[in-house]
Structure 1
Amino acid sequence: MTNRKIILFASAVLTASVASHAAMAVGDDTSEPPKKTKTTTQCTNGKVWDAKQNKCVEAKKSSLDDDILFDAARELAYAGQYENAIKVLGAMKEQHSARVFNYLGYANRKAGRMELGMQYYKRALQADGNYILARSYMGQALVEQGRIEEAKLQLVEIRDRGGENTWAYRALLQSLGGLRHY
């Protein structure tokens, strides 16, 4: 293999790696709010729907994997069931991931515990500085606190990390009144 081919190959691998990392940072949970499932329409007290058992189950005692539990927690949070969302997030094995910290931030903030929510957003960004949904939610919290300049900085960070065409960016932009003052 010639040096030119090696360089081209290495460049292609690096480009694919960066693109893959950016896509993972954006993540599947940066889209619109989830649709309601039996977790929010039939289950109560922090239980989640187990399709295999065809019933509501205790998250901690279930054999549900982290992705199913995360989706359930996200759905509960968006449905306004913040304490139930926190309970389900606590049942996950992956306790130190950006996505778990982010939704702990979201649920706590929405439940009226702003400072705790902000701490979780910071932990999410410590776990993954490219996790733009945490930047969006943190920015929205900053807007709620009247800290507009800091929220704008999060908007710039989202843009600079390749997230300008995402729900996370649009949601924070909307919170800022739709104005792009970089």
Structure 2
Amino acid sequence: MNIRFAALMTPLLLTVAMSGSFALADGDDEAPAKPSCPKGQVLDTRSQRCVKQTSNLVPDEDRTRYAWQLAKDGRYEEALALLDTLKQPNTAKALNYRGYATRKLGRIDEGIGYYLQSVKLDPQYAQVREYLGEAYVIKGRLDLAQEQLQQIKSICGDTRCEEYQDLAEAIDGSSKT
């Protein structure tokens, strides 16, 4: 009886444990879990298995989430390749993550273009405004970065949200150099 109970509970407990890391990854872009699939694969949250990133079984939401995990892990080219497989690539999150990966690859102007497309789709998306502001800081356009900071303050309702604090720190850090 105990063996049967354990056999039934193990997949359930694994699913619960795994779902916690995905809640963080999907939240409003909190620190994503470290990617666990080999290059060229993506995690299918339904089956909890790595599958080829070209598989039609993996929904865009999973692909987008996993691309974010890859980008935050410094695997920018892989993130972009995965974003290229989306059926619906023009979402605020997908464009934000594409902008993030291209910016981190040093293609600042291209990243800004993706950020601006994301802002157009969702003007209340605080994270994309933070990253857009950070790109402006890199370009030396502190005036434009400050505009994004004010937009974030309006979205968050105050200056305590992480996006506001991170962009304020980037602006402050650039003015000290």
Query: Which sections of structure 1, spanning at least 5 residues, go unmatched?
Result: 1-26
Q: Cα distance, 1:38 vs. partner?
A: 1.2
* TM-score for both structures, normalised by structure 1: 0.73
Do the aligned partners of 2:43 and 2:62 also contact (CA within 8 Å) in 1?
A: no
Counterpart check, 1:49 vs 2:43: yes
Question: 2-side partners of 1:153 and 1:52: how far apart?
Answer: 41
The total of aligned residue pairs comes to 148
Counterpart check, 1:161 vs 2:155: yes
Question: 1-side partners of 2:86 and 2:114: how far apart?
Answer: 16
Residue 53 (structure 2) aligned to one of 53, 56, 59: 59
Query: Which sections of structure 2, spanning at least 5 residues, go unmatched?
Result: 1-25
Do the aligned partners of 1:106 and 1:137 also contact (CA within 8 Å) in 2?
A: yes
The CA deviation string for residues 125-165 of structure 1, in whole angstroms up to 9 with x for no partner, is 11111111111000011111111121011000110122533
1:64/1:165 Cα in 2 relative to 1: closer, same or farther (>3 Å)? farther
Question: 1-side partners of 2:110 and 2:71: how far apart?
Answer: 16
* TM-score for both structures, normalised by structure 2: 0.74
Which of structure 1's runs of 4+ aligned residues deviate more than 6 A?
none
Q: Cα distance, 1:47 vs. partner?
A: 1.8
Aligned Cα root-mean-square deviation (Å): 2.2
Aligned match of 2:33: 35
Aligned match of 1:71: 65
Question: 2-side partners of 1:166 and 1:89: how far apart?
Answer: 28
Equivalent runs, 1:1-182 vs 2, <5 Å = 28-31=27-30, 33-39=31-37, 43-44=38-39, 46-50=40-44, 55-162=49-156, 164-177=159-172
Question: 2-side partners of 1:142 and 1:116: how far apart?
Answer: 12
Question: 2-side partners of 1:60 and 1:169: how far apart?
Answer: 36
RCO higher in structure (CA 8 A, sep ≥6): 1
Do the aligned partners of 2:100 and 2:131 also contact (CA within 8 Å) in 1?
A: yes
Do the aligned partners of 1:30 and 1:167 also contact (CA within 8 Å) in 2?
A: no
Of all paired residues, the percent bearing the same amino acid is 32
